[in-house]
Amino acid sequence: MIEALRNAFRLPDLRRKLLITLGILVIYRLAAHIPVPGTDPVALKNIFEQNSLLGLLNMLSGGAMQNFSVMAMGVYPYITASIIIQLLIPIIPSWTETMKEGDAGRRKMNLWTNYLTIPLALLQAYGQTAILARPGATQAGAVISEFGFGQFPLQTVVILASLTAGTMLAMWLGQIITAEGIGNGVSIIIFGGIVAAMPANVQRTWVQGGILQLIVFVIVTVLTVAVIVLVQEGQRRIPVQYGKRVRAMRGNRMVMVGGQSTHVPLRVNSAGMIPLIFASSFLIFPGTIASYFVNSPNEFIATVANAVYQFFNWDSWSYWILYFVLVIAFTYFYTDVIFRQQNLAETLQRQGGFIPGIRPGINTERYLQKVMSRITLVGALFLGGVAVLPWIVHVMFGGGGASRASTSTLLISSTGLLIVVGVVLDTMKQLEAQLLMRHYEGFIRK
């Protein structure tokens, strides 16, 4: 791998791509330390110890939420917009037809995604800041002391504009990486924030548990990465046969073409990290809303809110069991959405291909759905296991519940590990393809 990196830097165009990617990551990390006006760092540190939602948002913002910087929302509104657009494509017929136009159709849908990101960013900026601006948000007071259109309209507009502009800047930087650098820009920005937090995680684990606990967590993290790589690269290859066809060539010559055999790869985990994000957001939302009413003067409302808060709290077993179930459910849901968008059966029939022993058309579609359902079970159980792994490790080695302070029993969170491994594999494959085109040996040994 070291030799492959040397070869990559010897090539001017690849060196330029790598330097652009690294340069943009440096710019993003510098911008992640520019705080929103009026931020109280002591209160911000305090609320991070109390609110589990901020941990997920911090990861998706590339570590900028921890400083409540202008990049605090990162690319999360863009990710939300992308998910909404993907879910609406099979529902809206005109969008379905647009996606069939190839690159032009994808550019149109990307443009709609960019438009949708702006209102989503404004809404998230307002809600996120309103939570931090509550007087009782932390024991140290509110993180933002001057917020609200009633008393501080100018300050509120400045905060919302800063956060929304930060999101659009992060999205633009990610698109530059995608176009001019190496890998998927949005994923690499998130990847940079996760990796940047590793030294602090190592130090915290060492201080809280000592060198022995740190060694255990390093081993668990390495083994988890190995399993993630194995499952992420796992696929079921469906054999496909193309029939021979007679094609007219120049000079009225008739040539026999086709007849080759190939395969359709169906991935064990087609959904990636999306089910983990869906499940986390679904579970965090009720507990966060209930926390606002725990101290309500109405006894009934306070009792119900406290019960809901305890059920969806990271300290409870119910949270992690429900998390596991929801990850499996969302894995099946999102995989089905992606599979329907690919429309493999129709594509094979149009290209003259067929699966041996299976009739083209509806029978092929049913067969592929049956196979996809079986292998998705493995991917869903895998994602569910990775999701609750911090809790399992803490129960085994921590001797108790899964307190929020110790849910980071891996040096990187479970969702973070999936992102890191996915980004590294994707980047390595892209560099390998570039090197093989120039007759250099790639990163991945066969």
Helix (H, G, I), strand (E, B) or coil at 254: strand
| Closest C-alpha to 29, from 180, 202, 173, 203 | 173
Give the integer Cα–Cα distance in Å for 157 and 376: 46
Nearest-angstrom CA–CA distance, 31 and 166:
9
Residue 90 has pLDDT above 90, yes or no: no
Q: Is 27 helix (H, G, I), strand (E, B) or coil?
A: helix
Residue 87 neighbours by CB distance under 10 Å: 12
Residue with the larger pLDDT of the pair 440 and 242? 242
Measure the CA dihedral 271/272/275/281, to 10°.
-140
Q: What average pLDDT does the segment 344-352 reach?
A: 80
**Confidence check: pLDDT of 87 > 70:** yes
CATH architecture of the domain with residue range 1-197: Orthogonal Bundle (1.10)
pLDDT more than 70, % of the chain: 80
End-to-end CA distance of the chain: 13
Q: Where in the chain is the domain with CATH 1.10.3370.10?
A: 1-197, 198-411
Which tens digit of pLDDT belongs to each residue from 110-136? 889 889 999 988 988 887 787 777 655
Distance CA 326, CA 334 (A): 12
- Once rounded to an integer, what is the mean pLDDT over residues 54-65? 67
Res 246 pLDDT > 80:
no
pLDDT of the residue at 23: 92
Q: Confidence band (pLDDT; 50, 70, 90) for 400?
A: very low
SS3 label, residue 422: helix
DSSP for 186-230, written as a single string: HHHHHHHHHHHTHHHHHHHHHHHHHHHHHHHHHHHHHHHHHHHHH
Q: Which of 167, 171, 166, 199 is nearest to 34 (CA)?
A: 166
CA gap 122, 57 in Å, rounded: 15
Banded pLDDT at 401 (limits 50, 70, 90): very low
Distance of CA 389 to the CA centre of its chain: 18
Beta strands in 296-398 (DSSP E): 353-354
Distance CA 282, CA 398 (A): 27
Q: Where are the alpha helices (DSSP H) in 292-316?
A: 299-311
Q: Tell me, what's the pLDDT at 135?
A: 57
Give how far the C-alpha of residue 40 lies from the chain's centroid of Cα atoms, to the nearest Å.
29
Q: How far is CA 99 from CA 90, 109, 118, 172, 207, in A?
A: 10, 8, 22, 23, 52
Class of domain 198-411: mainly alpha
